[in-house]
């Protein structure tokens, strides 16, 4: 008889094939609601109406390390967040604490302006580097000064953060700023969940392009991943129940 691993492998292959057919659909499938992505367009509109810059922080996400994928995904989310705010009198601000991510931040800003045909309004100085310092406290401390110095309208913090994220979120809360936050670390995610107005948990950041870009194939991809996740959970539970039944039945 086939082993449990073989059965799971065959089922995953079959469901992956079915998933590829779903992704090819031209019409987007409805995705589960994520409050951070629902409110992000409103934050861009508030930035435009108030002539106050929207801040996107990439944190310690670094190119050329194990966090390369995180840096690229965070930059893509920043691109879609910046794009509607490019028509504002106050240009969006992108910050990072890693020198290797500076070119990525600059290019993200440039692409956002170019996509709206406003490349003349692009200013590379809106991409800023703040040194991390011990436990990234220097970077977090610098972000707490943005509401007073640059009169930002809100924080969108996507990238690598630790417990120091609490400093930024506490400062924003005192000033009544809306915050969206996530992190690749459990500590940072716990802080974001407890203190941010809208937190992105787990792999929700990686699905941002589908929610913000409104592209059918990306929407279908997200739905497929969610479906496969639940299918895998059901298979694991059924196999556990089957093994327990065999163990106690013998």
Phi-psi region of 152 (alpha: psi -120 to 50; beta: other; left: phi over 0): beta
Q: Which helix (H) or strand (E) is 69 found in, with range?
A: helix 68-82
What is residue 228's predicted lDDT score, i.e. its pLDDT?
A: 72
Give CB contacts under 8 A, 24+ apart, made by 163-168. Answer: 163/135, 163/187, 163/188, 163/191, 164/135, 164/136, 164/137, 164/139, 164/140, 165/59, 165/140, 165/191, 165/192, 165/195, 166/191, 166/195, 167/137, 167/140, 167/141, 167/143, 168/57, 168/140, 168/143, 168/144
pLDDT given for residue 1 in this prediction? 44
pLDDT per residue rounded down to tens, the chain (250 residues): 456 667 667 767 777 776 666 656 666 667 778 888 889 989 999 999 999 999 999 988 888 888 888 888 889 888 988 888 888 888 999 999 998 899 999 999 999 999 888 888 888 889 999 987 656 788 998 999 999 899 999 999 998 898 999 999 999 999 999 999 999 888 999 999 999 999 998 878 887 777 777 766 666 666 767 777 777 788 788 878 878 888 876 5
Task: Work out the end-to-end distance of the chain between its first and last CA atoms, rounded to an integer number of angstroms.
Answer: 18
């Amino acid at each position: 008889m086939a082993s449990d691993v073989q059965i799971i492998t065959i089922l995953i292959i079959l469901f992956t094939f079915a998933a590829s057919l779903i992704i090819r659909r031209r019409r987007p499938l409805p995705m589960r609601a994520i409050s951070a992505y629902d409110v992000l367009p409103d934050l861009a509109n508030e930035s435009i109406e108030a002539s106050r810059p929207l801040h996107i922080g990439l944190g310690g996400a670094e190119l050329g390390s194990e966090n390369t994928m995180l840096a690229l995904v965070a930059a893509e989310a920043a691109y879609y967040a910046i794009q509607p705010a490019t028509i504002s009198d106050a240009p969006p601000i992108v910050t990072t604490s890693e020198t290797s991510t500076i070119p990525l931040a600059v290019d993200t800003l440039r692409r956002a302006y170019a996509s709206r045909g406003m490349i003349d309004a692009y200013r590379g100085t809106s991409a800023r580097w703040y040194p991390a310092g011990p436990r990234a406290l220097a970077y977090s401390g610098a972000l707490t000064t943005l509401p007073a110095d640059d009169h930002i309208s809100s924080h969108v913090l996507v990238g690598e953060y630790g417990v120091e994220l609490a400093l930024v979120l506490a400062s924003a809360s005192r000033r009544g700023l809306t915050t969206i936050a996530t992190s690749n670390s459990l500590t940072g995610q716990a802080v974001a969940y407890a203190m941010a107005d809208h937190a992105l948990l787990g792999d929700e950041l990686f699905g941002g392009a589908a929610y913000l870009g409104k592209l059918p194939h990306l929407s279908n991809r997200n739905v497929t991943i969610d479906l496969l996740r639940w299918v895998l959970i059901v298979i694991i539970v059924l196999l556990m129940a089957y093994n327990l039944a065999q163990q106690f039945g013998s």
